[in-house]
Chains A and B, each alone.
Chain A
Amino acid sequence: MVSHFLCPFIQHTLTGSSSCSYAARTMTASSNYYYGAKKGINNSLSRMHTLSTLDTIRLEQGATGLKAFFSELSKKDYKEALSLVNEESLHFSSLYILKPEIEALNLFDYLSLRNKIAIAVLNEVLSGNKSMPPMKCSSSEYIQTVCSVLKWILISGFIDDGFEDDYDKVLDASSALLIKVYGDRTVLPLMSDLIFERNRRGRFYNELVWAFFESRYPHGLILIAAHLLSEQPEDVRLAQRLLSFIPGIDTERTAAYERQHSIVLNWLEKNYPYLYFTGESFQQSVSPKPYRVILDARYLCKAISIDTGRTIEPLTEYEDKLLKEFSELGTDVKKMLSIFSHMTHNNNIHRWNSWIHRPIAEQVEIAGLWMGGAV
């Protein structure tokens, strides 16, 4: 799964468009960002390639062997046992397996801050136990450490996803906390990999999908779209299902996946500044539309807040007047006009300025002619 991190989506987004539009620039910047994020995760994993002693035992002797080794060592030399469990390169899965032994041997107080926080998170996720043991650190240190511990859980722990349901639940909860509390989008590539991996194995991934979309980050869709090009039919089906709110992505289609992939990238490029996050999920709807294009904003070429759907900059009196007239048009005309406006704005700002200052009836006529009478 690790090698899958460097999936081909990066190449597509880096070279996908020669346009110098705002959206295209944002796309490229985003791709670089993702490349960096994936590189960062790979670096973290590289550091862990030097397996800790306990991880080596776990891999060689399994969970039972690891528990037996740790219990025996703790009785003989608890300092050495603590030193091993507190090793920086330890994977979360080993700590997860050893948690009952650590508790039975009353070793919690001697754990590293990382391990203490990880076990506290684990207890809260699995049993709802919210009691926090005292931590010897400042509040700011604590806040930052919790974030890095959640990332450690996810990054070092994802490779053992599927170990058991409770283990998976901790990974899902860590993802949700990183996204919802810390706004950390660097874990999206890893979450995407987990979602598709679980889907291939017929395992539960709904909460990961929910957390993924809750990032309110439309560029995350690029990661899902990459799976439209997968050789695995189940990957393609899931990608289609998750992206089916984008016009042209059809869950019934069984071919032309490269074209569908392009449709997603083009849709993002054209609409990114005008997307509003609706929060719809598969718990709510048979056909959730997590993002909606705000046509008013696309018509005025004004970026909006993804959270509120309202323009970031205040509108001028003239823009208010334009929107009033625009609101009286039919939906199809609105769509056509807003597409034309965005396109012209990106291609020739002077022509756009001239067009947007004409009466709206003329705007519609010009747009209709340019777009082949598509009104």
Chain B
Amino acid sequence: MATGVVITGAGIVSAIGVGKDETLRSLIARKSGLPGGEVALSDLQLKTILDIPGEETVARTSLLGMVAVKEALEQAGIAGTGDAALISGTTVGGMDITEKHYLEMLEGGRPDYFRHHTCGSSTDRIAGYFGGFALVTTTSTACSSAANSIIFGANLIRSGRFDVVVAGGSECLTRYHTNGFDSLMILDKEPCRPFDASRAGLNLGEGAGFVVLESEAHALARGCRLLGRLEGWGNACDAFHQTASSPDGEGAFLAMSKALEMAGLRPADIDYINAHGTGTVNNDESESKAMSRLFGGCVPPVSSTKSFTGHTTSASGGIETVICLLAMEYGFIPANLGWKVPSEGCITPEAEGRSKVFLQHVLCNSFAFGGNDSSLLISNTRDHE
């Protein structure tokens, strides 16, 4: 019998708030952070919160990550991280520094800025802030990076290698990927409308979301509160196109199916799906197809909280996992803002959201360029009364 993986801490920062409390208030009040998608704090303000000297060069991805990791560790009551692992997902890494100092770096005698460029260096910087971790690594599968960090972290626990793993993802907005998504012509200037007939693309966002994963035995021995249980996960490759999703949603279907299979659950056991739901024509249709294939005519309530936070790319799996934990704890289904008109080939999301519901099992989807599709199955540690 493999070790159970539980969640004992969660931290979040995005356009709808710094920390879980503010995020929860925004979700319930249906207060969106779009179309801007920026975290309201400047680099300097983040450094002040974190007690980092203002003149120090730190990638914004690292700063956002530190804020979320700090909150997660505090909730879990973990002071020393020397025996824990830190797994972060990012693709942007230190690109904000690279693009700002590009010419200076290449031609102006400041090659040292390149030290901050890599994904790995941005995660190392987060780890260093907490005095170091026993193992540090970075997943980089574009928009499913954080979900894959959580999967790798869960495997570190399940294999008996670690008792405590902090996993999630962090990504700041950069000109680089804003222009990149713009060149693909999938950005909407209006607030995104996942699954709506008029949807015309995504809004980029930024932020970080991390959870403290723990072996069940370790968490119980410490006597700490369990926020949720990671009962299943699935990672599959759509293997269709470098950026487009397949019309049959094969990768998404396989990812969700694997997560259910691992948890030993049936489709009917799922009470909510936090969709990848970017708001692009292609993703929402492909994801809807995958859900219809798996759930038949009984697709559970679905919403895309990217209608609040924007698409936080590599961080999205972490941010949306924390949102799922909040939804389970406070018994609500977040709204799918901006949805008005059904779209042919798309599921009908929970436009208004719901309150006073009990969520036993939820799926959290993260899909990416390259067809790197992952789904996490998170379960409530309380039983329905």
A binds B: no
A: which residues have CB within 8 A of B?
A: none
B: which residues have CB within 8 A of A?
A: none
